[in-house]
Amino acid sequence: MDAERDGDPAGPAAAAAARERLVRGIERGGALRDPRWRAAFAAVPREAFVPVFHDSVLGGYDRLAGDDPDPLRRAVWLQGVYRDAPLALRVDDEGRLVSSSSQPSLMARMLEALDVTDGCRVLEVGTGSGYNAALLAHRLGDAAVTTVDLEEEITAAARERLAAAGYRPTVVTGDGALGCPSRAPFDRILATCSLGAVPTAWPRQCTAGAVILAPLGTGLLKLRVAPDGRAEGRFLPLPVFFVPLRTPGPAAGADGAYEADAVGQGLPRQALGDDRFRFLLGIGAAGLLPQEAYALWRRERRPPRERYGVTVAGDRQWFWLDDPSGPYAWELGGYPNGA
């Protein structure tokens, strides 16, 4: 019997039904208003890209797989695949998350925020499972999509899964902070990993009018590239949390030490528990001292993410509040490899 007749709890029929439920849930949340992106999410099988994931259990991870001989565990696996939640794909020996598949509703909002049109050439930085690249390829065609990740183990697996699902975008193994010069220019760059600063190589590989969408700290930054190569834009209201961009050298930006330093300075719990303040703290690469950040947060009445922006001009970039030429502007550090 085929899976549909067999009643396999993780078979094609069950997966199709779970996929449709996920799509309807994302729609109810206000995303997938573009019917072409809805069609992509309805068509691309997420289960093909996460045959194994690690579910957080009691401080550790339980491995769930689509080929588990236990039908009940396969059903749990499929339920997890189509839960609107991020999935841990790779965990190192110390239990740290190395690679993940993002929350589908967040992916939908980010893809719609790219404002793609037919013919757009897109670079995705952070291949992960390959699922996001498949969505892009479904919408724009294989030839329009390039995706890059640092490790051959990740890109080889993603390339294989993409091909098995019927998609063949260009999958590159390399340092995402350097972009992909051989495939440039790009009309859109989408990062699915957290940054401490915008790699200056990216605007240089973009066409005039291109969009760069990238998580910076816990904010989602949307830049527009001008004809002279200057990239500027604001943060979207959406809070985001991603695995940091991994490069061969040290990463740019702050780590947990910056926020720990803020705690050590005795700032009020009200501030430390406020999402808007924590966002400001997370842009540690701007060199804002915790007390300085707190004073600004109070003075400007808890400014939301969308009041902040970033400008990238050549090798220089700065983080600002309200106006890129205004009184509140702080230099952002670049990537040590010169990207």
Task: State which of 115, 143, 174 marks the end of a domain.
Answer: 174
The helix-helix angle for 256-264 and 290-299 (nearest 10°) equals 80
pLDDT(126) > 60 = yes
Task: Answer yes or no: do 149 and 263 share one domain.
Answer: no
DSSP state of 273: T
Q: Two tokens at 327?
A: 């009184």
Structural domain contains residue 23:
yes
- 33 and 156 inside one domain: yes
Selection from 171, 174, 236, 181 nearest residue 206 by Cα: 181
Total structural domains within the chain: 2
Helix, strand, or coil here: 199?
coil
Range of the domain at 313: 256-331
Cα–Cα distances in Å, from 166 out to 6, 140, 216, 235? Answer: 25, 14, 33, 35
From 141, 174, 207, give the residue that closes a domain.
174
The percent of residues in the chain predicted with pLDDT above 70, rounded, is 89
By three-state DSSP, how is residue 211 classified? strand
Which pLDDT belongs to residue 157?
Answer: 95
Residue 221 has pLDDT above 60, yes or no: yes
Q: Quick check: is 194 catalytic? A: no
Place of tokens 């205004």: 326
For residues 288 and 286, give the distance between their C-alpha atoms in angstroms, rounded to a whole number. 6
Whether 167 and 23 map to the same domain: the answer is yes
Residues 130 and 263 in one domain: no
Q: What is the mean pLDDT of the chain?
A: 90
Q: What is the CA radius of gyration of the chain?
A: 21
CATH number for the domain that contains residue 88: 3.40.50.150
Contacts of 186 (CB under 8 A, 6+ apart): 121, 122, 123, 146, 179, 205, 206, 207, 210
Indicate whether 210 belongs to any domain.
Answer: no
Residues 19, 137, single domain; the answer is yes
> Does 101 share its domain with 11?
yes
Say yes or no: 126 and 268 in one domain.
Answer: no
Q: Is 211 within a domain?
A: no
Choosing from 155, 174, 193, the residue where a domain stops is: 174
> Reading across the β-sheet that carries 186-191, which strands appear in turn?
170-173, 145-149, 122-125, 186-191, 206-216, 219-225, 231-239, 308-313, 316-321, 329-331
Q: What is the mean pLDDT of residues 162-182?
A: 97
How do residues 232-252 score in pLDDT, each as one tens digit? 999 999 999 888 887 876 555
Q: Same domain for 170 and 260?
A: no
- Res. 91: pLDDT tops 50: yes
Residue 98 lies in a domain: yes
- Looking at residue 337, its pLDDT comes to 54
Task: Tell me, rounded to whole angstroms, the distance of Cα 86 from its chain centroid.
Answer: 11
pLDDT at 163: 98
> Which of the following is catalytic: 102, 105, 129, 194?
102
User: Is 198 inside any structural domain?
Assistant: no
Residue 269 is predicted with a pLDDT of 85
Kindly tell me if the per-residue pLDDT of 338 is higher than 80.
no
Q: Is the residue at 235 inside a domain?
A: no
Same-domain check for residues 139 and 261: no
Token pair for 300: 């400007």
Of the spans 52-56, 243-247, 294-298, which averages the highest pLDDT? 294-298
In this prediction the pTM is: 0.92
Q: Would residue 194 count as lying in a domain? A: no
Q: What is the pLDDT of residue 244?
A: 84
Q: DSSP letter for 303, please.
A: -
DSSP state of 289: -
- Is residue 184 in a domain? no
Mean pLDDT computed over 194-214 = 96
Distances (CA, A) of 15 to 8, 35, 78: 10, 21, 7
Residue with tokens 């904010």: 219
Confidence of residue 90 (pLDDT cuts 50, 70, 90): confident
